[in-house]
Homo-oligomer: A and B are copies of this chain.
């Protein structure tokens, strides 16, 4: 339950990086049954600025989304997008990917920005280290832990839930230590960071097993940055409650559509005269209205409508998958559901 409504879990959060889920309007998201969406602190801090968003009444009002919103801390983007970052125990100095201007983020500043943005759930500022360097992960984890305590101390808004983030790379003992420490701060929810960054799939699944055992059972666990259908199912099987990923909208812009038989590339020649919907049986507006042949034409012609229709379908696909997962869980048939689903879909398909 958030100030902007309930979130039925497990849930997938569509990502609205720059205060918009790419190509979709808020009324589309409502139609699709989205509950919580994610927005990016790093992007919104740089443009249009959290001060402007606050002045315009906060993120919900600014982007006209009255449902729940979660903002990340900016940490992940600072480490993946910005140039010339310099990290010290106090925070990170970095160069904007937009205009090369210099900026500094600290735990306190990240919280202040997230308070300005005004999301329902906000995240602790953390470092996302290279996952396989044990020595560095020891230093980095200690820093992330210190920062979590500072975020908690800095956080003043009582209408926002602040989640902690577990790090620790690929190392079981570090992951467990991190889960212990972060849990000891008693956050209302826990993010699992540093996964889905290119590590072998089994490493992610093992880490989720450890986290499932190590984190408090009664608090939501949020697997950050994950949105491949097989990963959602495998994540739920390991006790995960929340997921977010740009995958459905990014794939849409690359011309790839989720179907219940696996992913298809809609630019492909074989769909030229195909009068079926993207995913036969799907109830979204795209599939109820248009053929593959038409959507292929739109993509080849570079038409915006093609990106819209593909985005609508792909986001719908993941939201419906989560709805089906919730039903399977509540009816005690998740294991059968998961086996059947993964066999049909063809297991995991690498993100582009």
- Which residues of A pack against B, CB within 8 Å? 18-20, 22-27, 47-48, 52, 55-57, 62-64, 272-273, 275, 285, 289-291, 293-294, 296-298, 300-301, 303-305, 307-309
Contacts and interface: CB of A to CB of B under 8 A. Distances in A.
Nearest to A290: B64
Contacts of A275: 56-57
A308 B56 contact: no
Contacts of A47: 297, 300-301
Count identical subunits in the complex.
Answer: 2
B20 A289 contact: no
Given A22-B305, A47-B297, A55-B273, 20 more contacts: A18-B298, A18-B301, A20-B298, A22-B303, A22-B304, A23-B305, A23-B308, A25-B285, A26-B289, A48-B300, A48-B301, A52-B293, A52-B297, A56-B275, A56-B291, A56-B293, A56-B294, A62-B293, A62-B297, A63-B294
A257 B350 CA distance: 42
A203 to B, nearest CB: 35
A17 to B, nearest CB: 9
Nearest to A46: B301
A291 to B, nearest CB: 7
B20 A64 contact: no
Contacts of A296: 48
Nearest to A300: B47
B52 A19 contact: no
A61 to B, nearest CB: 9
A297 B25 contact: no
Nearest to A293: B56
A18 B293 CA distance: 14
B64 A289 contact: yes
Nearest to A294: B62
Given A47-B297, A290-B64, A300-B47, A273 B56 contact: yes
Most buried by B among A20, A22, A47, A272: A20
Nearest to A61: B291
A313 B64 CA distance: 17
8 contacts: A18-B303, A20-B298, A22-B304, A47-B297, A47-B300, A52-B297, A56-B273, A304-B304
